[in-house]
Structure 1
Amino acid sequence: MTDPGQVVLAEVRDTPLSVDELLAAVRDRRAGATCLFVGHVRDHDHGEPVEVLDYEVHPSAAQVATDLAARMAADGRVLRIAVVHRYGHLEVGDLAVVAAVSAAHRAEAFEVCRALVDEFKATVPIWKHQTFTDGSDEWVGLP
């Protein structure tokens, strides 16, 4: 059996995110590839201009994120996994989520990073409240 990968970081936080922090966290001399995903607050949604976002998190969000990362690492296809999502008030252009995965080979790094981000967005209880420039607003991701 292959050794499981290591979850080096899985958090939700209310402070600005750092791409460099996650890249450094997954660095491993056995890795031939590192895949990085960076999600930014964009200036539109549904064709409407977005002014700001506020992310709210359930108290279980950090544990759900940790459990998800551990499941992704368990099969041993990757060496290290890190994922962080920001909550609170964010402006257009701010980093909302950063994920990094290192692996011996690029295929595994790409596959696991994509699955990690997709499942994170689908399962970790974080809800987005976006305000549009016309003053209207909407919640995204509510159960």
Structure 2
Amino acid sequence: MKEGHISNIDFSNITSKLAVESGFGALSTFEGIVRDDKIAGEDLKDKEAPKVEALKFQIYEPLFIKWMREWQEKASKKGVVLALAHSYGVVKVGETSYVASVMSKHRKPVLELFASFVDDFKANAPIWKFDIANGKEIYALDRSQTLKHSGLLK
């Protein structure tokens, strides 16, 4: 976890070096970049909706670490190494908020694990998003997930 945007170049250098040193032949990286989408809202017509200027992320660290360790254990059982960096705080449009890499000796376990990891990340990682537009923070309800027993309502 890092406050502000992630340097995808630094992350890629680290994971590439790890893959080479580990004798791996497959490395795949996924990068999430903040887009300038319009803010959706039932009370706003699309043409009136402001554009996102940045996103603000909040992470519940103890649960995030537990979730990530579970994924690293799953990966390890398949001979795969999984690395992830995610921002907290404000990340501007065009900046990277999330970088994940999966590496192994062969491509097949990398590709098989990556899709399910990213899907589970979007659905279950304890990270909450706020859109920032016109200097205001707006909870991104349509792009956030509730967690069982978290006290968050939809």
- Normalising by structure 2, we get a TM-score of 0.70
Following TM superposition, by how much is the alpha carbon of 1:87 offset from its aligned partner in structure 2, in angstroms? 0.8
Larger radius of gyration: 2
1:50 is paired with a residue whose SS is: coil
Please tell me the root mean square deviation across aligned C-alpha atoms, in Å.
2.5
Name the CA distance, whole Å, in 1 between partners of 2:137 and 2:57: 17
Q: Write the mapping of 1:11-50 to structure 2, written as runs, cut at 5 A.
A: 12-23=1-12, 24-25=14-15, 26-28=18-20, 29-45=22-38, 46=40, 49-50=51-52
Structure 1 gap segments, 5+ residues each = 1-11
Partner of 1:129: 130
Structure 1 consecutive aligned stretches of length 4 or more whose deviation exceeds 4 Å: 45-48, 133-136
Higher helix proportion: 2
Unaligned 5+ runs, structure 2? 41-45, 147-154
Q: Distance in 1 between matches of 2:2 and 2:85?
A: 7
Match of 1:8 in 2: none
2:56 is paired with a residue whose SS is strand
- TM-score norm. by structure 1 comes to 0.75
Q: Is the 8 A contact 1:34 1:103 kept in 2?
A: yes
> Whose strand proportion is higher, 1 or 2?
1
Supply the distance in 2 between the matched residues of 1:95 and 1:43 (Cα, whole angstroms): 13
Aligned length: 131
Is residue 34–residue 92 contact of structure 2 (8 Å, CA) maintained in 1? yes
Percent of paired sites with the same residue? 26
